[in-house]
Amino acid sequence: MNTDVAPVRIPPCSAQAVELGMGDELVIIDPEGQQVSDVVAFGHPDDAEYLSSGRSLDYAARLWLTAGDILYSNRSRPMLTIMEDTCGRHDFTLTPCSKETFEIIYGESEGRPGCEGNLAAALAPYDISVDRIPIAFNVFMHVSIDTTTGSFRVLPPLSKAGDFVRLRAEMPLVVAISACSAGQSNNFRFKPIDYQIVRNSV
Amino acid sequence: MNTDVAPVRIPPCSAQAVELGMGDELVIIDPEGQQVSDVVAFGHPDDAEYLSSGRSLDYAARLWLTAGDILYSNRSRPMLTIMEDTCGRHDFTLTPCSKETFEIIYGESEGRPGCEGNLAAALAPYDISVDRIPIAFNVFMHVSIDTTTGSFRVLPPLSKAGDFVRLRAEMPLVVAISACSAGQSNNFRFKPIDYQIVRNSV
């Protein structure tokens, strides 16, 4: 990891968008441990191409992706390669929580935007509307499945302070990254997420 | 099931789109057994609202949905309720196969459109482009998961001839329904799918 690049902090319960050129690397870091980051990606400038969990899982023939796996687009093209992964457990089946998710799952009424709203706000300058936020690559999210019934539970992340995933952009992208707002996912401690970008594209 | 309504046949390796009013019921039938049908749904006329596996799985806290479960939209509103299910095993994690999927998974070069292309052709009159085909509710698709590794295998469907799922529309919808084109999903016998619509909306 290129340590010349200072990490950027995403404050708790918020999100940021970054542009990556082909070959650029994005490192997503859990600075305190047990925090989740929802990551979505769109082609840039052709944002009709987007991160597809359905394609990525199908090609890996595995629910849980890690170093060496590729995150594909809806058009079956590689978007991001997982170059390094010090945690090893992430989710790629669930959509980012929204105000409605908090109402349905947690009975909340205060209308927090959730990662979906935060990612949409970060993507608003790119004219990507909230309806187009797909299933995210939920970095560090720990979903445990009972294969007899298919029931699952969202458990505290396995990530420890300093754990990271390093992703390489395989095409020009806009990527939005959140610091998770959902108690069940981050063990009810709403923490920041850090990221670094290593610019290899020219 | 209202047996006054004659079933409609979807020929092998093709798809059809139907409009449903709120309260209408759509019965998807496997006439010969071991065939899969990829089902996607969009709000009608507001097709920015679409079937969301991520939402539906999150609210069910279960990977495999069956009778009593609700298929939600990206806006967290109920789109379809599973009223009856004589098979009990379906997938809701994978995207419909495309030409590229057949190239990557099967090494095919003949360029068959797959369920994605067939669903997109059926949805073309509604101006819903292929890029917007989401993860489908893959009726009768049998995905078996190893929870230690997260690896999965696509196995022959558990459906027998005559098995069906009965879905009730909870809002006005355009639904596209395919007869699966992927050998791994239908045990390498490309068969038709039947459906019936029971009109309860006025």
Mean pLDDT, chain A, whole residue set: 95
Within 8 A of B59 by CB-CB distance, chain A residues are 104-105
Pairwise CA distance, residues B94 & A60, whole Å: 11
Instruction: Tell me, yes or no, if B76 comes closer than 8 A to chain A by beta carbon.
Output: yes
The complex's ipTM works out to 0.95
Within 8 A of B143 by CB-CB distance, chain A residues are none
Contact B104 A131 (CB under 8 A): no
Grade residue A202 by pLDDT with cuts at 50, 70 and 90: low
* Percent over 90 (pLDDT), chain A: 90
Q: Which H or E run contains A122?
A: helix A114-123
Within 8 A of A54 by CB-CB distance, chain B residues are 53, 93-95, 134-135
Pairwise CA distance, residues B193 & B180, whole Å: 8
pLDDT digits (tens, 9 = 90+) for A22-34: 999 999 999 999 9
Burial of A110 from C-beta contacts in 10 A (0-12 / 13-18 / 19+): exposed
Comparing CB atoms, the residue among B48, B64, B131 nearest residue A150 is B64
B116-129 burial, b at 16+ Cβ within 10 Å, e below that, comes to bbbbbbbbeeeebe
**Position A79 pLDDT exceeds 70:** yes
**A190 with A174: CB under 8 angstroms?**
no
Residues in chain B: 202
Position B4 scores a pLDDT of 63
Contact B53 A93 (CB under 8 A): yes
Instruction: Tell me, yes or no, if B105 comes closer than 8 A to chain A by beta carbon.
Output: yes
- Nearest partner of B126 among B13, B50, B26, judged by Cα: B50
**Position B148 pLDDT exceeds 90:** no
Contact A57 B93 (CB under 8 A): yes
Shortest distance between the Cα of A74 and any Cα of chain B, in A, equals 7
Pairwise CA distance, residues B51 & B42, whole Å: 6
Instruction: Tell me, yes or no, if A146 comes closer than 8 A to chain B by beta carbon.
Output: yes
Question: The pTM is what?
Answer: 0.96
Pairwise CA distance, residues A61 & A128, whole Å: 30
* Percent over 70 (pLDDT), chain B: 98
Mean pLDDT, chain B, whole residue set: 95
Comparing CB atoms, the residue among B59, B98, B135 nearest residue A76 is B98
Tell which of A74, A128, A141 to mutate to test the B interface (max B CBs under 10 Å). A74
pLDDT digits (tens, 9 = 90+) for B61-92: 999 999 999 999 999 999 999 999 999 999 99
Position B103 scores a pLDDT of 94
Strands (E), B57-118: 70-72, 78-85
- Nearest partner of B57 among B34, B83, B76, judged by Cα: B76
Grade residue B180 by pLDDT with cuts at 50, 70 and 90: very high
Within 8 A of A48 by CB-CB distance, chain B residues are 129, 131
Pairwise CA distance, residues A88 & A158, whole Å: 8
Contact B135 A100 (CB under 8 A): no
Pairwise CA distance, residues B26 & B199, whole Å: 9
Both structure tokens of B132: 């917007």
**A95 with B54: CB under 8 angstroms?**
yes
Q: Which H or E run contains A185?
A: helix A183-186
Position A4 scores a pLDDT of 62
**Position B202 pLDDT exceeds 70:** no
- In order of B18, B66, B123, B201, the CA distances from B39 in angstroms are 11, 14, 12, 21
**Position A156 pLDDT exceeds 80:** yes
Instruction: Tell me, yes or no, if A73 comes closer than 8 A to chain B by beta carbon.
Output: no
Tell which of A73, A95, A115, A148 to mutate to test the B interface (max B CBs under 10 Å). A95
Instruction: Tell me, yes or no, if A161 comes closer than 8 A to chain B by beta carbon.
Output: no
- Nearest partner of B109 among B97, B99, B96, judged by Cα: B99
* Percent over 90 (pLDDT), chain B: 90
pLDDT digits (tens, 9 = 90+) for A38-72: 999 999 999 999 999 999 999 999 999 999 999 99
DSSP-based helix, strand, coil % in chain B, nearest 5: 20, 35, 45
Within 8 A of B62 by CB-CB distance, chain A residues are 149-152
Position B201 scores a pLDDT of 80
Find the closest chain B residue to A57 by CA distance: B94
pLDDT digits (tens, 9 = 90+) for A94-128: 999 999 999 999 999 989 999 999 999 999 999 99
**A93 with B46: CB under 8 angstroms?**
no
Place of tokens 């969990």: A53
Shortest distance between the Cα of A138 and any Cα of chain B, in A, equals 12
Instruction: Tell me, yes or no, if A63 comes closer than 8 A to chain B by beta carbon.
Output: yes
pLDDT digits (tens, 9 = 90+) for B4-44: 678 999 999 999 999 999 999 999 999 999 999 999 999 99
Place of tokens 């058009």: A75
Position A154 scores a pLDDT of 95
Instruction: Tell me, yes or no, if B148 comes closer than 8 A to chain A by beta carbon.
Output: no
Within 8 A of A137 by CB-CB distance, chain B residues are none
What string of DSSP letters covers B4-57?
Answer: TSPPEEE-TTEEEEEEE-TT-EEEEEESSBS--EEEEEEESS-TTSBB-HHHHH
Position B5 scores a pLDDT of 77
Pairwise CA distance, residues A59 & B132, whole Å: 19
Instruction: Tell me, yes or no, if A67 comes closer than 8 A to chain B by beta carbon.
Output: no
Find the closest chain B residue to A133 by CA distance: B74
pLDDT digits (tens, 9 = 90+) for B109-123: 989 999 999 999 999
Position B6 scores a pLDDT of 86
